[in-house]
Structure 1
Amino acid sequence: MGTFQIEGGHSLKGEIHPQGAKNEALQILCCVLLTPEEVIIENIPDIVDVNKLIGILGNLGVKIQKLGKGKYAFRADDINLKYLESELFKKEGSSLRGSIMIVGPLLARFGKGYIPRPGGDKIGRRRLDTHFEGFIKLGAKFRYNKEERFYGVEAPNGLKGTYMLLDQASVTGTANIVMAAVLAKGKTTVYNAACEPYLQQLCKMLNAMGAKISGIGSNLLVIEGVDYLGGCKHRVLPDMIEIGSWIGLAAMTQSELTIKDVSWNDLGIIPDTFRKLGIKVKKKGDDIYIPKQKEYEIQSDMDGSIITIADAPWPGFTPDLLSIVLVVCTQAKGSVLIHQKMFESRLFFVDKLIDMGAKIILCDPHRATVIGHNFKSALKPTTMVSPDIRAGISLLIAALSANGTSIIHNIEQIDRGYENIDERLRAIGAKITRLD
């Protein structure tokens, strides 16, 4: 189990480049299974979860060539479907939640797809019903082995387009269904579809491969099935979650940072949400500039009430940044209610912040009230364990703001989502050491 040793309380300064988006990469990597032709993808982040998925694709028989930093060529012209029934796949697939998205492409192109119950963050129950209900509506037959916790879908006669209203706007569920529908016979209409920028990127990539998808960016997608998809080139967007993390880091450490090439048009309400906390988020071309601030004051609602920051499907505020916002509020001037609607265990990491001296009231599994210190009282260093990716980076930001030396164990969780984070932080002045 890896460990970070952090000497906090130091102001940082410089430029930082966001990595490619983890959540987009996991989707578009699965796209390569839809064609026997070469697909070239740029700006793929070098992180544990993405590398695991690339490994699974390799074991499936996909030919993979690394062309440079973050740039790969994939060719799925000789797929080994027997790997799906192997013990190795059961082990590898169950360790990565993103592996669920290989099922749609395999079902569309080969008529069958299997997946062990996937793992991922321990942030509460994350149902897969939306994925498989969508496949069933497209004509697939579903089976689940309870003893082995193994899912399977088969459509030996192919898939047929249909109308479906999703029970929830699941991002991965929408992605999986869209990838299955592009090769189905006829028209598929998906209502209550997710419309995150990463899902938009997936649809644009599929269209570049020859798919016919309309309604991109809305919650109503129409997919005209085609017989064949070809190769393409695609570039992954910068990671909006990492961009939000760096905004929070700058505020908590009272630092001056420039976040480069952020793709402003794809950030939605993220900049304005941090501005509500009193953080100066300035647009400079396609960069974000965060000036050094001695304090930042949380806004109130128009009637003077304490504001609530809550997650919601896009274009609402992404749930992956609520942990960052919560940490940032511990040193803000004012109070805020954090409402995490989507995952019932994601706020449980606040006990570690309370140990550091933060004033947080955990109302229930979904809501926490934060009373900011306004830097009148610094957080105290401590030893802690990272429970998941987003809580892990939040605790790391807290440790970098605390006066003294903190220890964070289980940093493999952070490595799952953040590329070479210790090296990149040291480049802007952070005192952080990786202990193996």
Structure 2
Amino acid sequence: MTLQRKAYRASILHSIADPKDVGLENSYEFFEDGMIVVEHGHIIDIGSASDVLARHPKPLQVTTYKDKLITSGFIDTHIHYPQTGMIASYGEQLLDWLENYTFPEERRFKNPVYAHKVAKLFLDELASNGTTTALVFGTVHKESVDVFFEEAEKRNLRMIAGKVLMDRNAPDYLTDTPESGYQASKALIEKWHNRGRLLYAVTPRFAPTSTPEQLATVGKLLEEYPDVYMHTHLSENKKEIEWVLDLFPERESYLDVYDHYGLLHKRSVFAHGIHLSDCECQRLADTESAIAFCPTSNLFLGSGLFKLNKLEEHGVRVGMGTDVGAGTSFSILQTMSEAYKIMQLQQEKLHPLKSLYLATLGGAKSLHLEDKIGNLAVGKEADFVVLDLHATQLMRFRMKQATTLEEKLFVLMSLGDDRTVCETYIFGNKAYDTQGEQHKRLVS
């Protein structure tokens, strides 16, 4: 008989609250010799191994890990699956980068065979980097979103995605119309939203590529389907902001463009938000909208330094995003490292426990999914990652010098990458392991 109840034993660390609200010492749980128990895709127990074993009668199938750390699966609050093939494209800032690299690559996604190939690679990369949930841009092609959801459904992933809406200031081969974009989005919502663990995001690319008429249809979709997400870009680049204000001279700010059309609500997530006024920050907080902090992308495109403390002072929800392909890595660990540097450049600190929060529970709260994912609390969906603290020779040597949990976590986020991810579990089932990946490479 196959046992439904399985246990995993290692050091366990997960966020239970935002450090800014409860202090660092009350923001996490750590068990040096810990155990989680999983049944029917959910966490049913967590604690010290001795306590958990005493609570569960045999037989209990236990997987034990040495020199490993179990934590909640990472949550990427902003990423583009069609940009997988043009990651690490040299030498442009945002607007030129879109024209020269992004749009030509996205054209290829009209072909569902190509879209399927990239969707598989993209989801494989997420798993190998320990990312279990992501908020994902598709392309303007309805086919690209169908293919993405089909592949995500096969893997039982909790994913949020949407068709891009663009009806101006983009190549003809990538534009829709307000009506066609509305109808295609409506059909995708009806087909995929709340199907299994999948969710839909209405996805205007950004204000410059949508007419007022199209932005009005986005607002209409959010009224008709109040529990879907809205996912777009905001105040990433200063030239972008100037362009928006030229296109919408009647509006007071970039954010006010979206606000005017009813695009700010509980499940709105805006990528970047680097150059925001106090009024814009407060409006985001008032509407429970969230910002995705995308440090590797912001550095790669020279966009600016994200002001985390300013946004949090206003009460804005913030999650972590890789923003592949402007972001240069699928790894949330590497993203955490770059976030630390962005704060350092502003003479501000980013504690490793705060980074862990942003990459897990903070991302879940940004998506209003903290009742389902974001940590390893009893009742949560069993999306978790097993991290190898000795993944490289340097990490092994450095960890021997680390004397505190905080120091070990900082080493992990400073030196860690996909090599650090030993196993990734999705809804209680193993979705990735390094041994399987090594075998696949040898066979191929």
TM-score relative to the length of structure 2:
0.32
Structure with greater proportional helix content: 2
TM-score relative to the length of structure 1:
0.32
